[in-house]
Structure 1
Amino acid sequence: MRNKRVVIALGGNAIQQGKDATAEAQIRAVEATAESLAALIAEGVDVIITHGNGPQVGNLMLQQAASDSPATPALPLDVCGAMTQGMIGYWFENALAKALRARGLERSVAPIVTRSVVDPNDSAFSHPTKPIGPFYDEAEAQQIERTTGYVFKEDAGRGYRRVVPSPYPVAILEHTVIRDLVAHEHIVVASGGGGIPVIDTADGYVGVEAVIDKDFAAAKLAELVEADMLLILTAVDHVFVDFGTPSARALEETTKEQLEAYIAEGQFAPGSMLPKVRAALQFAESGHDRVAVITSLEQALAAVRGDVGTRVRLAATLQQ
C-alpha cells in the first residue's frame, strides 16, 4: 500500500513576507516554510510542492525592462516564469534538505521546471486580471504604464499592480515525470507560479505572455498524479462565510453543492479566496474519495490528519 500522496499549494507568504524582497529574506521565509513541510514528510506523506511566484516574476520583469537594450534585450514573461521557477525550486531544495537532515532524514528533492498547456482561444487573453509584482501608488503605476505598456489595476484597496492574462490550465506536460518521481519517494517541487503557460502549435509548444493561477494548476496536477489530497495553504485556518461580520462562520466539512451555493451568494472574494475554493472543488470532483483542504501553513500536518481546515468532498463521499 502506497503512502498518502498530497499536492501542496503554498501561498505567497511561504516565500516572501512583507516588502523585503532580498534573496536573504526570501530564503529565510522558505526555510521557515520547509520546517512545516518537513514535519509532514516525516509522518510518511509523499508530497508534491507547488508555489506562487507573483512578486518574484513581477520584480524580474521590472529588472528586465530597466536594463533593456540591444546588447541585453528584455526577456519575455514566460522565460521569466521559468527563471523564477528554477530560483524558488533551488531555495526549497536547500531548505527541505536542511530541515529533513535535522530530523535524521535523507530524502532527495527534485525541482521540476513545469509547463502548463493553455487554450489560445481562452477568453482570459482578452481580459488581463492576474496581478504580478509589487504594489504601486496611482502615479507610479501610470508612469510605468507609459514607459512599458504594461496594464495596471487597483488591487483590493492596497494599491496598483500589473495585471496579465490568466488562462485556465488544461494539461501539465511534466506530470508523468512528477508521478514517477513521487512513486519512488522523491520530494518534488513543481508547477511553480502555475507553471509556464504554453500553447500547442504545429511546430511544438510555445510560451505565451500570461500567468496561470497557481491553485488551479495545483488542482490539475493533483488530478493527473493521482493524489489523495490537495492541500491549499493560505493565511487562515478555515474558509469563512459572512467573513468580517458578527455572524462569520468557519467551514469545516463541506460539499460541492454547499460551496456552489456560497459562491452564488458572493461569499468569497474574487482576488483571494474564490480561486482557492474553485480549485478545491475542481480536485474533489476529479475522482472518488479525493479531498481538498484549505487551511494555513501552520496547520498543514493537522489538516492532513483530518483535524483542522475546510475539507471539500463530493456529497456522496461525505455521506459514507
Structure 2
Amino acid sequence: MLVVAAIGGNALLQRGQPLTAQAQRANVATAAAALAQIVRAGHQLIVTHGNGPQVGLLALQGAAYKPEEAYPLDILGAETEGMIGYLIEQELENVLGHDHAVATLLTQVVVDAQDPAFQSPTKFVGPIYERQDIEERAKSAGWSIAKDGDHWRRVVASPKPIEIPDMRVLQLLLAQGVIVICAGGGGIPVVRRADGSLVGIEAVIDKDAASALLASNLGADALLLLTDVEGVYQNFGTKDATLMQRISPDQVNALNMPKGSMGPKLSAASDFAHKGGFAGIGRLADALDILQGAAGTRIEKEH
C-alpha cells in the first residue's frame, strides 16, 4: 500500500519539553522507529509533519529585528521544513540501516488569495506580548492580533490548501521507491499570480488538510494521522468516554468535534475517506497496528 503518515508536533516535542535540538532529535528517533515498521511490512511511505513550535521559535528570533527586517511566514515555513525534514530523514535512514533511499522535499502548497480565512485570521503564531507592546509592533508590521489567555499574540490566516504544484517531483521520487518527507507544517503557502507564477503569502496551512490533499492527489491507499492519543473518543473527557474503532465519513460529520482538538484531523480523514481510501487516527507508536486495523480509529466508507 501507499501510505501517507502525518506526524503531529508530539513527534518532535512532547508536552513540557524544551525546544532544543537534542530533545527534537531524541523524539524523532522514536518516531522513525515506529514509521520504519510500516516500511518493513512492505508498504511505500510518505511522511508529513507539523512545525508549530519550530515556526514559533523562528518568529521569536525574528522579533529581535525591526518589523521590516523580519522574514515572512512562507520563508519561516521553508526553513522549518528543511530542519525537521533533515532530522526525520537521517533518523529513518539510521533505523532502516540505509537500505532505503530517503529524501526531503520542500513543498509549496497553493491557496486561494481570496479565501475567506484571510478576512478572519485565527491561527496563533510567534511569541506572547503585553497588549501595548504588540499593538505597537502590529501597527508597524501590519499584523492582526488576538488575545491568547492572559496575553496577546499575532494571528494569521489558515486558508484551505487547493493545489500541490510539486506533485510531478513527488511522483518521480515515488516511482524510484524513495521514502519522501514533504508538506511539512502544511507546506509552504503560496498563491498564483495572474501570469501563473507563484509567490509566498503570510499564512499557515493546516497540516492534516494538506496531508489529505496530498494523499488524495497521489491516490494513496491510507492516510494515517498520528498523534499522542489512542484514537477518537465519544464523550471524551467524561467517565462515559469510549474509543470509536470504526466510523464512516458521514458519522464524522455528525460528531461536531471541537475545532481546536480532534476536529481538523477528523475533517481531513473524512475528506480523504470520501474519495475511496481509508484514514486512521491514533498514537504514533501504534502506526503499523492502526494501518492493519488493530488499533486507533479507522475512518472509511461503509461497505
Cα root mean square deviation, aligned: 1.9
Pairing of 1:212-291 with structure 2 (within 5 A): 212-263=205-256, 268-286=257-275, 288=276, 290-291=277-278
TM-score normalised to the size of structure 1?
A: 0.87
Q: Would the aligned equivalents of 1:40 and 1:301 in 2 still touch at CA under 8 Å?
A: yes
The match for 1:33 among 31, 40, 45 is 31
Q: Would the aligned equivalents of 1:176 and 1:225 in 2 still touch at CA under 8 Å?
A: no
Cα distance in 2 for partners of 1:68, 1:126 equals 25
1:1-41 deviation line (CA, Å, top 9, x unaligned): xxx10001111111112341112221111111111111221
Could you tell me how far 1:182 is from its partner in structure 2?
A: 1.8
Distance 1:133 1:99, change over 3 A: farther
Could you tell me how far 1:94 is from its partner in structure 2?
A: 1.0
Q: Would the aligned equivalents of 2:17 and 2:23 in 1 still touch at CA under 8 Å?
A: no
Cα distance in 2 for partners of 1:143, 1:87 equals 34
Q: Would the aligned equivalents of 1:292 and 1:311 in 2 still touch at CA under 8 Å?
A: yes
Q: Would the aligned equivalents of 2:191 and 2:199 in 1 still touch at CA under 8 Å?
A: yes
The match for 2:188 among 173, 177, 196 is 196
Distance 1:10 1:144, change over 3 A: farther
Q: Which amino acid aligns with 1:148?
A: R
Could you tell me how far 1:143 is from its partner in structure 2?
A: 5.2
TM-score normalised to the size of structure 2?
A: 0.92
Query: Where has structure 1 moved over 6 Å in runs of 4 or more?
Result: none
The match for 1:47 among 45, 48, 52 is 45
Matched, 1:185 2:183: no
Distance 1:143 1:100, change over 3 A: farther
The match for 2:162 among 164, 170, 174 is 170
SS at match of 1:197: strand
Distance 1:313 1:76, change over 3 A: same
Could you tell me how far 1:207 is from its partner in structure 2?
A: 0.7
Cross-structure match for 2:92 = 96
Cα distance in 1 for partners of 2:162, 2:93 equals 32
Cα distance in 1 for partners of 2:67, 2:45 equals 42
Distance 1:158 1:261, change over 3 A: farther
Cα distance in 2 for partners of 1:254, 1:168 equals 24
Cross-structure match for 2:118 = 125
The match for 2:11 among 11, 14, 30 is 14
1:47-100 deviation line (CA, Å, top 9, x unaligned): 110011111112112212313488xx3211111111111111111111111111
